[in-house]
Structure 1
Amino acid sequence: MSTAEHITHFTVQYGNLGANEVQKLRLFPNSLTGSAFSWYITLRPTSVQSWREMEDHFHAQFYRTEPMVFVADLAKMCQFLDESVEKFVSRFKIARYKCLTMLSENEFTKMALGGLHFEVRKRFAGQKFTDLGQLVAQATSYELLLREEEDLKSSSLGIYYKPPAPTIMGSRAPKVADFADYEDCDEDYEISITEIISGKPYVCKALAQMAEQSGSAPAKTFRDRDAKNKYTYDTTKAELVFDHVGRTVG
């Protein structure tokens, strides 16, 4: 609030007392707060003799010249990179109040829409809004969807490889993943590769076939429990098998 607005508001608030300069001088401190009140109490008792002198002292102490805002300035306003639609429109409104050129609400809304991010402008291009409030409501909803979409993209690294194409009885060779497709990708991918080499087969003594006491067939207890699952090796020695494979490969 400017100094002129403060004095006008004070005069209107006290109504009929506004015509009495003595009463205005006595009541004026009641309208001051913060630094303005601190300034008032530091005045010398005899430094102000009339209401006119009080106005002059008040303007000289707190009057600040605010820069003029033109229509061209409003048209150049743009939404900051990390600024929400709501905050940008609030900043646009403050600047609009300083503009002395009278335009319709529709014209101001068009200028505000032109200052939003490209994705939002593209979404609402050609759409008419009755006022800035409607623009904020719809643009904010779309902004939240864009933010959610961006979060989903950043939370997933995508597919690491291409699955091989299905083959029918050797009609064609399986399709090998082409990692050249990922050379131009900006994201870093971690790819594990295993090489299969030929050589002498390894024998692990822990992989002994389980059989009944007679040694003629696998244990019936496993076969009878589930006909589909037949355990032909001693599963209690899985750790031994794992250790053997680790030592062999290493």
Structure 2
Amino acid sequence: MAALPIASPALQPASTDGQQIDWASKIAEVMRDQFGLKPKLQNLMYRNSYPAVYDQLPLPHKYKFPDFTKFSGQGVVSTVEQINRFIIQCGEEAQNDALKVRLFSMSLSGSAFTWFTTLPSNSIIFWADLEKQFHQLFYSSIEKMKLPDLTNLRQRNDESVTTFIQRFRVVKNRCFSLVMSDQQLAEVAFQGLLQHIKEKYACQEFYSISQMAHRMTGEVKPYEQKRSNFQKKVNFVDYSDASDSDDDQMVESAEWVQNNKKPIACPFGNKEPEKYWFDITKADKIFDLLLSEGQIKLKPYHKISTDQVLKNIKYCKWHNATSHDTN
């Protein structure tokens, strides 16, 4: 019987030198040369954008990672504000550039974090490089405020004094080139208050917006409503000064006369349509006028000294005190 031929195993195509041909590379080369197509290389493995040695840096003893404020690139926070806040939250470790580069991703979220993870491997060596790239991609200029932005602020009808002052401070903090004293800022903020509150505190002087907020705490209801609910038998005129304290309270030595509906025309003031005002330097004369017309009466022990005795001396006829004038 004749032997049947046995087929030999299929042999892999080989190159002339006996090595296996990389067909994937060959196909990619043909696509690139013939069709101008370049295969897309996909690499889903995460690679640090900074040197791996940064992750090996020892942390300080008992170091606790800060709870960084997150930046997503979608809010109103500027890159300048975010960088400054990040450095402050790093504390003493902000002196270590390598550690700042390592920790920076912990202050990012959303698209900002995605951007950081897609940076080329080992592309960030120095903190300055990372900060520069961060600003280039996410920078948004902060709206710079000026003095008119402050002077045009007005308290809303449903807004408390405390809330208005907080809003005033936010605008002030964006007036980077504005130079004003605390007292000047208090004057600007005072002009933005509701009219009935300004009238109530018109005779007082404020040296800072913090002092103004402290004195006006609780000013929420309209002044007219407060007046309608006011049922005290004796009305007192409040006087406040920066040197006031709990241990040094002024006692009124005069009081308003009740049930006296006789109107008194003030010759020391000027009348404007729906608005009245007077020169505060005429407070002494106004007091004398109201006293002579029976609108004010003195306490039994209160005797007002003559002008000759009080020459060049501060004297308040209402409080019977020499620490301030009648105002």
TM-score (norm 1): 0.50
TM-score by length of 2: 0.39
The structure whose residues are more often strand, as a share, is 2
- Greater per-residue helix proportion: 1
